[in-house]
Structure 1
Amino acid sequence: MDKLLQYGRELLKLELQEAQKLPNRLGKDFVEACQLILSNKGKVVVSGIGKSGHIGKKIAASLASTGSPAFFMHPSEALHGDLGMITKNDVAILISYSGRAKEFNFILPILSAMSVPVIAITGGLDSPLAKSARAVLDISIEQEACPMGLAPTSSSTNTLLMGDALAIAVMRARGFKEEDFARSHPAGSLGAKLLNHVKDVMRQGDLVPKIPHTATVFDAMLELSRTGVGLVAICQDNNKIAGVFTDGDLRRLLLKNGTLQDSISSVMTSPGFQIPESWKAVEALKSFNDHNITAAPVVNSAGELVGALNIHDLHQAGIS
């Protein structure tokens, strides 16, 4: 067990050692690479083979999810038809530690003929790839963490880090915000929080608990039981809310010897807390927590009752 811990720690130290050299290598070529992506009117085409290809897929995915449309193209598939997916408006990121991947020997002349600029991520600064590129991102290392110096380890880590630096630098330059990120991650928890509005998750129609202002406490109790929202909205004839009455209000009223025949307008909370349908759902959740409540009626811009929302509706929508 001690040996295994030693091996793991040695690898991590070596990779971190090599990675620490990267920040000082960023210069005009890094800026050029970022500017090529920022001014790009098409897509970013990422390509690499072997371990470089696996990391290239991640780099393409990172670019795509942070505001730079991108896709990965396998070099072998590119040579058998997929080059047709590249247009003159695109930018290519080609990854090869040596810079001598034979597939790129066929791809580079075609990209040059199409005037597609190339960003090279490579350790071979004098390689054919580096010489053909508009911008060269240096990921060179002195030592792989593999004890035999064979398996890409330090070089793979450097490639990944350089790709992340490129994607995030461009993202920040674009002014990319959380809402933009959420649009490309709509199924995740961030998407649920930032994309959903109250009107998207509220209860509507017959599921909205409401009674007229002329009703009694008994009517409110029936409506509370029917909908299970936790409150009932008391509405005027124009569908505007006169007040609210909760299941907690009902319990407190009965404990104070109130009756079910009491007029609801005499015991309701007026006007009661209301949520605009235009709010983001996450704002509604914060408001619930701030006011220590679990439900509220929802109103439109005219102040009319259009829905109801409770904390369980928010949790079911993935907002917590």
Structure 2
Amino acid sequence: MTGSLPDEMTYIDLPSFGGPDALVPARGPLPRPAAGEVLIKVAAAGVNRPDVMQREGNYNPPPGASPVPGLEIAGEVVALGDGVSDLQLGDKVCALVGGGGYAQYCVAPSLQCLPVPKGLSLLEAAALPENYFTVWTNVFERGGLKAGETILIHGGSSGIGTTAIQLAREFGARIFTTVGNSEKAQACLDLGAERAINYRDEDYVSVVKELTDGKGVDLILDMVGGDYIPRDIEALAIEGRLVQIAFQKPSKMEFDFLPMMLKRLTLTGSTLRPRSVEQKAAIAQALHTHVWPLLESGKVKPLIYETFPLEKTCDAHALMDSSKHIGKIMLDCQ
């Protein structure tokens, strides 16, 4: 640690599970970087659905992770742990973290840090890690999306959805998405979706079948679950892939697996937070190679809806709970 750092910082505590008001500002000592880690003075942090799940008591941090919520940050490296040689003091980075992001200072494995893309602010950079790591590993690695294929993205106006639409567009896919209102539909169309399906008054299975001449889509990215799963299977083409990344509806249900066999489908999914540093580092390297040039050229960018001061994290979560937002909700931690 350098001698110029303060002894204490403001962070967001979660003394008990509950609604947005469960998140309260607190003061405490700065975390210390372990071997292979860096300490980052946080400029901004992203708010994500897993943070809401943690607040509600449904998503505990993995062993060894900070109990403070927050999975993505951007800022300046202010201290180096033993063995760190790939970063230097003063570097501006964004990072995927296992927790601790809702704070003025946060530790991160150096291998999970990426340089702030040229032309992006620290606030914009903080909106990248959770969504871009998730979309890259699930859509392109597990889902194997290729140019010319069709993809259905549920929740197209979310942070994940707006990221997936832009990346699928840049890699040459036809994109369909589900949304809850006309404003969200227009936002998805503006980002590159061919069709935005309002799930409140349209059956997405029928729509994608019509759009694909009865074949169905090659890939579905689903963060809803529940009764969407058998409908997803119906909407998939032969050799199609369903990638499950979250559940807003129940994760347990009963359905007929026969269509999966008859259409030779692949059903897969993943979570990001429990993966090893090495696994996350591999995703970071792939992003740096394949996606960072798109960010630096302006071809893709994070869509930021609203930013709250760190002390008003509860208001940020209230907005997240309302689902009114389009794109990312952010915290200003400076």
For normalisation by structure 1, the TM-score amounts to 0.29
Structure with more contact order per residue of length (Cα contacts < 8 Å, sep ≥ 6): 2
For normalisation by structure 2, the TM-score amounts to 0.28
More helix by percentage? 1
- The structure with the larger Rg is 1
More strand by percentage? 2
